[in-house]
Each structure stands twice: as C-alpha cells, then as structure tokens.
C-alpha cells in the first residue's frame, strides 16, 4: 500500500515535471509587453522604423522578425515574420491598431477586419505617400510635431537635382528570375530625384520580371544590384555601357532603398553619389 | 526515314525563330544570348519529350510523364529547399530532390508484392502530391523567395549564364545526352513490352529490372533538366502522343522523334513567351497555352 502510494507520487511528480517542461517549451516566447496606453502592432519594418523615429516606442507592443532596425526592436515581442505573422499572437496582444503592408498582407488585413481590429494600411508607391503616412501615423500616436519635423528633414535632403542629362539606371532586385522596379514605386521616384532615370520606368507593374534582352537593348549607364550576385561575366552583357565602364554598384544596404522610412535619406545620398560619380 | 525530313525542317525553323525573334535588334551579343537560350530550349524540350515517350512506352499508360512519377516534383521540391536555405537556386538541390523522391517511390513500390511496374505509377503519383504540398509550405514560409520558386515551378529559359555556371551547364547537358543514348538502346524491349507483358516475359525480358533501369535513369535526366530550367510542364505528356501520331508505335523512330518534337515545341513556346509582353513570362505557362489547342487539332485529324 505504502509502496504503491509512493510510486504513484513518483509518477505524479515525474509527469508534473514533464508537463511543466513541455509547457515551458511551448510557451518559450518572450512575454508580451503589458504597457498601458495605446497599443500598436507593426507588421511593417518601415513603419516600425518610423515609429521609433517619432519617439513612439512605448506604443509598439508587437513587431515582425523582419523589423530589425533600430537595435531596440530586438526587445519587442515578435508576432511572426513579414509574410506569415501569427494571428493568435497579434490578437493576444489586444492591439488598438495593427499596421499592415499592402498588397503583401492582404490576407491578414481581411482577417483583422473580420475581428474588427483597427488597421492602418501602409502601401506607399511614391514619396508623397510616404510623407502622408508619416503624418497620419504621427497624428495617431500624438506626435504631430515630431512627424512634421521628420518629414521636412527628409524633404530637405530628398529634393530634385536638376542634372540636364539624366543617367540611365538599371536596378536589379533578384537575378533569377530577373526582377527590377517599375514606374509606380517610390524607388523609381527617388532615382529620378537623384538625377537618374530608371530604364524600365515605362513598365506599369511595381516589380516586373524582365528579360536579359530588354536590359541589353535599353543599355543602362549605371547598374545597381540589390542582391549579392556577380554581374561582370554574364554572357551577352559585355557591351552594356555600365559593364564596359565598370559602373556596377553592389554592397549597397538594401534596406536604405527598399524600406519606405526615415533611412531613405541615406539611400538617396548613396544614389546621388553613384549618379554623380 | 523520309518522314523525318519535314520534322527536321520545322525544327530548323524553330531554331531560326529562336535566334531571330525577340524584342531587341539582333546584334552580336544578343545573338550570343539567344543561341545559349536556344541550346537550353533544345536540351530541356528534348529531354522532356524523350523521357515522356520512354516512360509511356514502359508503363503502357498514356498518362505517365516525368511528373506522374514524382521525379519532376521531387526536383522542384529540392530546388525550393535550396532557394529557402541559400536564397538562390542550386542545381544540386534539385537534382538530389529528384533522386531522393525517385528512391522513395521505388521503396514504396517494392514494399508489397505484385507487379512492381504498376506500383511505381501509384507510388509516383502519391509522392508527387506530397512534394507539391511541401513546395506550397515552402512558398508560404519563404515569402520573399516566392517569385523565384514560382519560376522554378513554371520553368524559365531566360536564366543568366555567367562564367560560374557556364561549364556546369555544359557538363549537365553532356551527362543527360549520354544517359538518353543509354536509354535509347532499350527500344526493342520497349516495343515488345507494348505488345503485352506476357509476351515480353515469354521472350525473356526481365520487366522488373528494365523498369528499375529506365525509372532511375529518367529520374536522373529529369533531375538534371529541372535543376537548370525548372519544371516545364506539358511537353513530357503530350509530345510523345504527337510523335506516335506521326511516326507510329515503334520506339526506334518514336524516341528520337519525341526528342526533336519536344525541342521544336519548346523553342516555339519560348519565342512566344518572350515576345508577347515586355515582361518575361515563365515558359511553362505558354507550353500548355499553345500546346493544348495544337494537340486538339492534331488529335481531330
């Protein structure tokens, strides 16, 4: 009797330890922040940067794993990655506002709409869109004046440079398939302000897949690669002006050009340098 | 033999079209680019047509093609995993995927007794479905690499050829050619098998062994093909039928005809894919788009 009771207790203790450890494995996630006040979940890395710049860190209760700038984003609860954030984690944070990126996060936006959670849509296609979104989110977090000064600081640097002759620039986002930027992107506008012209600015799609022939035919004077591949020894590319004159730029921080946030200023400076070189 | 002449003529036209037609004015370097593209087209179309033909002959089933047997889906899965891990397609991954899935199919088919040949089809179809769902999962996880995986699944002849991959591609093409020449030697056995399995067994053909050899060698070839140009659909399924309509059931004529017809067809499809828009369409989209009406027309005749 005594023996079996002891065994039972042993089993109980064992299974309790097992259960606790299993539970701790499953719950091994940094506990959500429970700060009072306005609670924002940002699924947009650019918006996360903007909120930091606006000193609205306190409102940010959740971000994605893609939100990697500034350094302090590490401390914020992660709701998943950019394309697949966890709905449960988002809802569990009881956010007052969720910032989503369109068109990539359409599915998430629809789900949030169904749950009647307020959504802020970020989908900038031009510099004006970016400024408008900064002003709007500034209004929401009650940092209107900071937002105003951020916008005017950005406008101060990012202004049209009136070079008479615009250089033909080709920007490659991925080598296989070959993806570049089309007209309706803020990067296209940024490039034009910096005194260049995107060789594919006639294409309506945001991020079109183009053929090598089209690139050779349009003969860019400057090539900007936003991926780690090499370009010099590509078959058939030898006679492109940019390749002949070695005007190929790699090692550019992709986030400076692809994230519609405060660091676009850095990207713009780099573009100016490249085009003036 | 004379029946080959028009087919070869059309093939020549396809090669010329491949070199002449395109958005840019054909200068020296553009032509260089197009020739490399034509070579890729001949290689991929030919391999798919040939493998489709030999598999349909072996299995005596008009629906069998590289995809039903899981090798193409396996290559796509391997390639997607490569994209997910390295952010860029690595041919070795696609190749390993094809072989790995081929091995699985083989093991499943052998688990129970009965006719090994027919079990291979069932196991292949099942594994194909598994691979497709795994690729879907990778696409969902990948997010940013989605485009790349999509083009791998649809097939893409416009790949960039540089000093790093040039030799590699030539080597892979050479290996594939050796492998299909090796397979071509079985044309007599295939003819006999299509007369019926009993006859074949009576004539002393080891069907199990033959299935094994053909199954694994085609898996190798398809793995190599998909690793370079992606999983181009339709060619492997329909080209053998067209070849049979034109050349009759004999594999001696049928197999090379499938190669040439597959190459011709893919070259035309590629010419369409790069001229109808300024964008680069995946060639796999065009193959079925152009191929289905053509097939219906031929079938009616």
Q: Considering only alpha carbons, which residue of chain B is nearest residue A179?
A: B147
To the nearest whole number, what is the mean pLDDT of chain A?
85
- The ranges assigned to domains in chain A are 40-156, 167-276
- Rg of chain B over Cα atoms, rounded to whole angstroms, equals 19
Q: What distance in Å separates the CA atoms of residue B98 and residue B137, rounded to the nearest whole number? A: 18
- Give me the CATH code for the B4-300 domain, please: 1.10.3470.10
- DSSP track, A173-232: SEETTEE---SSSHHHHHHHHTTEEETTTT--SSS-BB-HHHHHHH--SEEEESSS---T
Backbone angles phi, psi at A85, to 5 degrees: -70, 150
CA–CA separation, B58 and B61 (whole Å): 8
- Chain B residues whose beta carbon lies within 8 Å of the beta carbon of residue A230: 162, 164
Chain A residues in contact with chain B using a Cβ-Cβ cutoff of 8 Å: 81-84, 104, 174-179, 203, 205, 208-214, 216-217, 229-230, 233-239
Helix then strand count (H, E) for chain B reads 13, 0
- Residue A131: pLDDT band (50, 70, 90) is very high
From B147, which residue of chain A is nearest by alpha-carbon distance?
Answer: A177
Cα B151 to Cα B45: distance, rounded to the nearest angstrom: 17
To the nearest whole Å, the CA of A243 is away from the closest chain B CA by: 13
CB–CB of A235 and B33 under 8 A?
yes
Q: Which residues contact A156 (CB under 8 A, 6 or more apart)?
A: none
Per-residue pLDDT reduced to its tens digit, A8-47: 666 656 665 655 555 555 444 444 444 457 899 999 999 9
- Domain chopping of chain B, boundaries: 4-300
pLDDT at residue number A266: 92
Q: What digits encode the pLDDT tens for the residues B97-111? A: 988 998 888 888 888
Q: What is the pLDDT of residue B93?
A: 87
Shortest Cα–Cα distance, B246 to chain A (Å): 35
Task: Report residue B184's pLDDT band, with 50, 70 and 90 as the boundaries.
Answer: very high
B26: which chain A residues are within 8 Å (Cβ-Cβ)?
none
pLDDT tens track for B32-52? 888 999 999 999 999 999 999
- Sort out which chain B residues have CB atoms less than 8 A from A235's CB and list them: 32-33, 36, 160-162, 166
Pick the CATH number of A40-156 from 1.10.260.40, 3.40.50.1980, 3.40.50.1820, 3.40.50.300: 3.40.50.1980
CA closest to B29 among chain A residues: A236
Closest chain A residue to B160, measured at CA = A234
- List the single best residue of A210, A213, A215, A216 to mutate versus B (max B Cβ within 10 A): A213
Q: Assess whether the region A40-156 and the region A167-276 belong to the same CATH fold.
A: yes
* Closest Cα in chain B to A233: B162
- A76-111 pLDDT, tens digit per residue, is 888 888 888 888 999 999 999 999 998 888 888 999
Let me know: does B68 contact B134? Beta carbons within 8 Å: no
R_g over Cα of chain A: 24
- d(Cα B211, Cα A203) in Å, to the nearest integer? 51
pLDDT of residue A163: 66
> By CA distance, what is A217's nearest residue in B?
B24
User: Phi and psi at residue A101, in whole multiples of 5°?
Assistant: -100, 130
Per residue in A139-191, pLDDT (tens digit) is 998 889 999 999 999 999 999 886 678 899 999 988 878 899 999 899 999 99
Interface test with A, best of B20, B26, B29 (most A CBs within 10 A): B29
| pLDDT (tens digit per residue) in B13-31 | 999 998 888 777 777 888 8
Q: Checking DSSP bridges between strand A97-101 and strand A40-42, what pairing results, if any?
A: parallel
**CB-CB: which of A82, A179, A213 is closest to B30?**
A213
Strands (E), chain A: 40-42, 60-62, 97-101, 119-122, 167-172, 174-175, 178-179, 196-198, 222-225, 248-249
User: Do A179 and B147 count as a contact with CB atoms less than 8 A apart?
Assistant: yes
Collect all residues with Cβ–Cβ distance below 8 Å to A51 and sequence separation of at least 6: A40, A42, A57, A59, A60, A137, A141
A112: three-class secondary structure by DSSP: helix
Cβ distance of A213 and B24 shorter than 8 Å: yes
Q: Write the residue in B23, B89, B156 that is nearest to A213 by C-beta.
A: B23
Could you tell me the CATH superfamily of domain A167-276? Answer: Nitrogenase molybdenum iron protein domain (3.40.50.1980)
Q: Which of B32, B147, B280 sits opposite A235 (nearest CB)?
A: B32
- Of B29, B89, B279, which is closest to A236 when you measure between CB atoms? B29
pTM (predicted TM-score):
0.79
Question: CB count, 10 Å around CB of B6?
Answer: 10
Q: Give dist(CA A104, CA A101) in Å, integer.
A: 6
Q: Considering only CB atoms, which residues of chain B are within 8 Å of chain A?
A: 22-25, 27-30, 32-34, 36, 88-89, 140-144, 147-148, 151, 156, 158-164, 166, 274, 278-280, 282
Distance between CA atoms of residues B301 and B299, nearest Å: 5
């Amino acid at each position: 009797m005594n023996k079996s009771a002891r065994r039972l207790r042993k089993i109980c203790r064992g299974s309790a330890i097992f259960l606790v450890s299993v539970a701790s494995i499953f719950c091994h996630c940094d506990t959500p922040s429970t700060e009072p006040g306005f609670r924002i979940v940002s699924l947009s890395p650019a918006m996360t940067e903007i909120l930091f710049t606006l000193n609205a860190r306190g409102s940010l209760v959740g971000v994605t794993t893609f939100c990697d700038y500034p350094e302090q984003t590490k401390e914020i609860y992660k709701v998943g990655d950019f394309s697949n954030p966890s709905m449960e984690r988002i809802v569990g944070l009881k956010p007052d506002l969720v910032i989503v990126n369109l068109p990539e996060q359409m599915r998430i936006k629809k789900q949030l709409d169904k749950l009647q959670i307020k959504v802020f849509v970020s989908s900038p296609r031009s510099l004006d869109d970016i400024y408008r979104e900064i002003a709007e989110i500034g209004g929401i977090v009650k940092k209107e004046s900071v937002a105003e000064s951020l916008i005017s600081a950005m406008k101060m640097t990012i202004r049209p440079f009136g070079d008479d002759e615009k250089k033909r620039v080709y920007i490659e986002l991925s080598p296989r398939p070959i993806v570049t930027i089309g007209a309706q992107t803020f990067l296209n506008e940024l490039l034009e302000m910096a005194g260049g012209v995107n060789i594919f600015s006639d294409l309506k799609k945001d991020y079109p897949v183009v053929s090598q022939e089209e690139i050779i035919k349009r003969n860019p004077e400057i090539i900007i690669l936003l991926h780690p591949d090499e370009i010099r020894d590509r078959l058939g590319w030898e006679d492109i002006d940019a390749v002949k004159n070695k005007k190929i730029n790699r090692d550019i921080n992709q986030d400076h050009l692809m994230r519609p946030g405060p660091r676009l200023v850095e990207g713009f400076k780099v573009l100016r340098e490249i085009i003036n070189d | 033999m004379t029946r080959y002449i028009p087919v070869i003529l059309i093939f020549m036209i396809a090669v010329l079209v491949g070199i002449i037609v395109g958005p840019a004015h054909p200068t020296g370097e553009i032509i260089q680019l197009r020739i490399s593209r034509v070579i890729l087209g001949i290689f991929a179309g030919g391999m798919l047509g040939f493998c489709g033909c030999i598999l349909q002959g072996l299995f005596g089933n008009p629906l069998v093609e590289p995809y039903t047997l899981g090798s193409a889906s396996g290559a796509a899965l391997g390639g997607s995993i490569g994209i997910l891990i390295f952010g860029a397609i690595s041919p070795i991954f696609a190749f390993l995927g094809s072989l790995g899935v081929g091995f699985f199919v083989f093991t499943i088919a052998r688990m129970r007794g009965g006719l090994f040949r027919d079990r291979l089809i069932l196991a292949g179809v099942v594994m194909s479905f598994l691979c497709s769902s795994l690729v879907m999962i990778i696409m969902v996880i990948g997010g940013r690499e989605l485009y790349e995986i999509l083009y791998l699944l649809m097939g893409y002849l416009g790949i960039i050829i540089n000093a790093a991959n040039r030799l590699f591609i030539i080597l892979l093409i050479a290996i594939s050619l050796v492998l299909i020449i090796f397979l071509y030697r079985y044309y007599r056995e295939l003819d006999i098998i299509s007369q019926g399995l009993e006859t074949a067994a009576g004539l002393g053909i080891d069907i199990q062994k033959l299935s094994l050899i053909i199954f694994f060698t085609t898996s190798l070839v398809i793995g190599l093909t998909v690793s370079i140009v992606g999983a181009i659909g339709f060619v492997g399924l329909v080209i053998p039928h067209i070849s049979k309509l034109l050349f009759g059931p004999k594999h001696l004529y049928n197999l090379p005809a499938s190669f040439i017809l597959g190459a011709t067809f893919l070259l035309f499809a590629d010419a369409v894919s790069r001229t109808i828009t300024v964008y680069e369409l995946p060639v796999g989209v065009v193959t079925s788009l152009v191929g289905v009406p053509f097939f219906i027309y031929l079938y009616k005749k």
